Amino acid sequence: MSSAPVADIALIGLAVMGQNLILNMNDHGFVVCAYNRTKDKIKSFLENEAKGTKVVGANSLEDMVSKLKSPRRVMLLIKAGDAVDEFIKLLVPLLSPGDIIIDGGNSAYQDSERRARDLEKKEILFVGSGVSGGEDGARYGPSLMPGGNLKAWPHIKPIFQSICAKSNGEPCCDWVGEYGAGHFVKMVHNGIEYGDMQIICEVYHLMRNGLKLSQDEMSAVFDDWNKGELDSFLIEITRDILKYKDEKGYLLERIRDTAGQKGTGKWTAIAALDYGMPVTLIGESVFSRYLSTLKSERELASTILTGPDETFKGDKKQFLSHLRKALYAAKIISYAQGFMLLRETAKLYKWNLNYGSIALMWRGGCIIRSAFLGNIKAAFDKNPKLSNLLLDDFFAKAMKECHQSARVVVSTAVTLGIPTPALSTALAFYDGYRTARLPANLLQAQRDYFGAHTYELLGQEGKFVHTNWTGHGGKVSASTYEA
């Protein structure tokens, strides 16, 4: 039965994330209307987790809409894809011009771009918002990355900036940009998360298999690192995971070494390929997860293929110092590549992204929160048109102090036969980016030799020419295929 409008916002989707976000909003004084297709879930939530709160339930979408104050704000926290489109289709006839639909799931940015433009024609304001921080973040303060129709921001800002995490008193939420920008920023965030996790895993592998450190010893190292420039959520939880024991002993050693994924790292790598950005570290992180799934093949290969002795025979304390710096350098490269991709995509889609604000959004509440995000914000505050973080004084100095250690670590890993794909590609990118003349001149000559694809001469940029390399080839350049 319909009733007078009482709710500030409705939230559809009562899985753990949805429930925790509702309780977070309630804690900050907002009245939330909870809805789920499965009615028993609504009843159970109201009688248990939401008992004693101001949360109200709805028996139908019509009932839910009737309980919302104007402009109506409806947030979806459901599985990405067709389900979101289905709910939007059901909601639109019930809403009025100026009402707001917020998708807080892990949607593809292209879908958010399409939905924002389609709903704009119907005078419905769409917001695609990244939500990071997991279950705990949703309950006590996530990082929120809203983008879409700018007209919606004044109406959702009080709620979003109240419930989000705070860093030095500042909200880890700000308007990201137009149409699909919010979900694109969240996707890149997740890609950087893939990279961060992979480089930490490679460092763990070197400590475990190379240095032969015990789990308590490794935990102590990560605890020490977490007090310096590597201070971050992922270093912190790695410390805790390494020392965690149950009745059977250390749990980590009993976990199968095959990694899962939900696809956002892959989406970031695909976007990098689509838009021509060398986001190599995230790409290697995705491929490393794929390699991990070849468990039976790897076990067979380990009995057939030979390699060197993995045991490190040098100064362990000194190598741990190199390892810390190599990890820091790779982390800088990971973020530099992520922001390169953000900048290039913003140009293509004509999004007005505030890179300093994005860094601030990631300083608290999210998985990749870390101390040096403040330095990223400072870099973009100093130079909003900064093309690459590596060109900022702070990060250039950091790389100057760390790159030699990265070389020691990568070369040692190769000598020991311990794979470090992400740490290696970070160093390779750094060396490639700082090289004024790469061997791509030979590559262009090869392309022109076998395919007449043309090339540019130094000092004659923009003029494409073809050479008859063999003397019996033609003078016509290719236009039908690329290689």
Which amino acid is it at 440?
A
Q: CA–CA separation, 422 vs 192, rounded Å?
A: 12
Q: Would you say 39 is a known binding-site residue? A: no
Which amino acid is it at 469?
W
- Least Cα distance to 128 among 72, 91, 181 occurs for 181
Q: Would you say 78 is a known binding-site residue? A: yes
Q: CA–CA separation, 115 vs 128, rounded Å?
A: 9
Give me the catalytic one of 186, 325, 331, 377. 186
Q: Would you say 105 is a known binding-site residue? A: no
Rounded to a whole number of angstroms, the CA Rg of the chain reads 26
Q: Would you say 16 is a known binding-site residue? A: yes
Q: Would you say 220 is a known binding-site residue? A: no
Give me the catalytic one of 67, 113, 178, 193. 193
Backbone torsions φ then ψ of 129, nearest 5 degrees: -120, 125
Active site residue 186: yes
Q: Would you say 472 is a known binding-site residue? A: no
Q: Would you say 208 is a known binding-site residue? A: no
Q: Would you say 41 is a known binding-site residue? A: no
Query: Is there a cis peptide before residue 71, judged by omega within 30 degrees of 0?
Result: yes
Q: Would you say 149 is a known binding-site residue? A: no
Q: Would you say 14 is a known binding-site residue? A: yes
Q: CA–CA separation, 345 vs 347, rounded Å?
A: 5
Q: Would you say 426 is a known binding-site residue? A: no
Residue 129, helix vs strand vs coil: strand
Tokens representing 50 are: 């939401």
Tokens representing 332 are: 């800088």
Residue whose token pair is 């991709």: 341
Q: Would you say 180 is a known binding-site residue? A: no
Q: Would you say 106 is a known binding-site residue? A: yes
Backbone torsions φ then ψ of 278, nearest 5 degrees: -80, 70
Residues belonging to the binding site for NADP(+) are: 13-18, 36-38, 78-80, 106
Among all residues, which ones are annotated catalytic?
Answer: 186, 193
Residues belonging to the binding site are: 13-18, 36-38, 78-80, 106, 132-134, 189-190, 194, 262, 289, 447, 453
Residues belonging to the binding site for substrate are: 106, 132-134, 189-190, 194, 262, 289, 447, 453
